Amino acid sequence: MSKDIVCSGIRPTGNLHLGNYFGALKNFVRLQDEYDCYFFIADYHSLTTHPTPGSIYDDARRILVQYLACGLDPERSTIYLQSDLPETVELYLFFNMNAYLGELERVTSFKDKVRQNPNNVNAGLLTYPTLMAADILIHKATKVPVGKDQEQHLEMTRTFAQRFNSMYHAECFPLPQAFNFGNDLVKIPALNGAGKMGKSEGEASTIFLTDEPSVIRKKIMKAKTDLGPTEPNQRKPEEIENLFTLLKVVSTPDTVEHFDTLYNNCQIRSGDLKKQLAEDMVNFTEPFRQRIAELSADEARLRRIMDLGREKAHESARRTIDEVRHIIGYRN
């Protein structure tokens, strides 16, 4: 029996942060033993918000290093740059022909981006979900490991897949699902008490895998907290709940329980909670920092990995695009 196909990617718009890791990358690593996996670096998508990048190759190379440092294995998975797979762009064009302005304008991430940057509302931003659908469907993937914020994009991917199948009366594409081993999709909160960790909440609210221990400590100690509970077992305000969410991902269950009990007894001191969280984050990220430093130095190996990934991804993409061209009726 053939294995399920997995596909996902991350935009190279900086260093990877704990949101990327716990929302997506951790699962990439787990999935590669069981499935046929395609993991790419979304260096076309980054142009939607960073139209004139000074160093797009270096940005992508940096993410490749961080993928490897987190445990992605180029022998077991296909790891490639999105820009090395032009078949994706052809599929994007076909999907765009059947994607409607109204549905694209309603996408939450589009509306957010318009609000954040009203001077750069470009067509790439509007059609972000069709490019994403093309990324996934070019390999006919069925499982897509992503964080909670990508749920709507996956819904759109299914819409475009289904629409293509029914317009052309073909059973061409599967209907892919966001995947987190049967659990809810993850949302790692920002340190400022609101929103999700990531660039849009600002670097001070985001812990990057590359952050030095002193930087991590400083960011955590500045995280927003309240004055503390005044009644036993009272509900935690959002900023405290967020610190507990972060504690749950980097600390032991005993530690979480310890602080939870202190909170419920009104004995918690937020400074102690933050100190513990900072130390556990420093310990958690330490091995990544070490491996990133080692892997960055070997340019020849990185090039070989990119070449291998391109070759493997190309094989799968070519099959799909040949079939799609045939279904639509183009000359092959």
Token pair in block for residue 53:
């990048």
End-to-end CA distance of the chain: 29
312, 80 contact by CB (below 8 A): yes
**Smaller CB separation from ligand TYM, 126 or 144:** 144
| Amino acid making up residue 293 | A
Token pair in block for residue 218:
């400083």
Catalytic-role residue among 113, 143, 219, 274: 113
Whole-angstrom distance, CA of residue 211 vs CA of residue 153 = 30
Whole-angstrom distance, CA of residue 81 vs CA of residue 155 = 24
DSSP state of 174: -
Which of helix, strand or coil describes residue 196? strand
Token pair in block for residue 206:
């985001």
- Shortest Å distance, C-beta 92 to ligand TYM: 11
Binding mask 135-174 for ligand TYM (x = CB under 6 A): xx-------x-xxxxx--x---------------------
Region of 224 on the Ramachandran plot (φ > 0 left; ψ -120 to 50 alpha; else beta): beta
Residue 23 within binding range of ligand TYM, rule CB under 6 A: yes
Residue 279 within binding range of ligand TYM, rule CB under 6 A: no
> Which strands form 177-178's sheet, in the order they lie side by side?
78-81, 36-41, 5-10, 143-144, 177-178
Stretch that binds ligand TYM, among 6-14, 212-220, 266-274, 287-295 (CB under 6 A): 6-14
- Shortest Å distance, C-beta 54 to ligand TYM: 19
223, 243 contact by CB (below 8 A): yes
**Smaller CB separation from ligand TYM, 197 or 317:** 197
Instruction: Please say if 199 is a catalytic residue.
Output: yes
Whole-angstrom distance, CA of residue 18 vs CA of residue 70 = 12
- Shortest Å distance, C-beta 9 to ligand TYM: 4
Instruction: Please say if 312 is a catalytic residue.
Output: no
- Shortest Å distance, C-beta 229 to ligand TYM: 26
Residue 4 within binding range of ligand TYM, rule CB under 6 A: no
**Smaller CB separation from ligand TYM, 244 or 262:** 244
- Shortest Å distance, C-beta 42 to ligand TYM: 4
Residue 9 within binding range of ligand TYM, rule CB under 6 A: yes
Residue 83 within binding range of ligand TYM, rule CB under 6 A: no
Residue 219 within binding range of ligand TYM, rule CB under 6 A: no
Per CB under 6 A, contacts with ligand TYM among 30-69 are 42, 45
DSSP state of 14: S
Looking at 50, 158, 187, 319, which residue binds ligand TYM (CB under 6 A)? 187
Region of 182 on the Ramachandran plot (φ > 0 left; ψ -120 to 50 alpha; else beta): left
Residue 15 within binding range of ligand TYM, rule CB under 6 A: no
- The DSSP bridge partners found for residue 6 are 37, 143
Residue 186 within binding range of ligand TYM, rule CB under 6 A: yes
Whole-angstrom distance, CA of residue 10 vs CA of residue 150 = 11
Per CB under 6 A, contacts with ligand TYM among 119-138 are 132, 135-136
Looking at 14, 74, 193, 198, which residue binds ligand TYM (CB under 6 A)? 198
Residue 247 within binding range of ligand TYM, rule CB under 6 A: no
Whole-angstrom distance, CA of residue 37 vs CA of residue 28 = 8
Instruction: Please say if 218 is a catalytic residue.
Output: no
- Shortest Å distance, C-beta 153 to ligand TYM: 6
Task: Find where tokens 């659908």 sit.
Answer: 133
Residues engaged in binding ligand TYM (CB under 6 A) = 7-11, 19-20, 23-24, 42, 45, 132, 135-136, 144, 146-150, 153, 186-188, 196-198
Query: Which residues form the catalytic set?
Result: 113, 196, 199
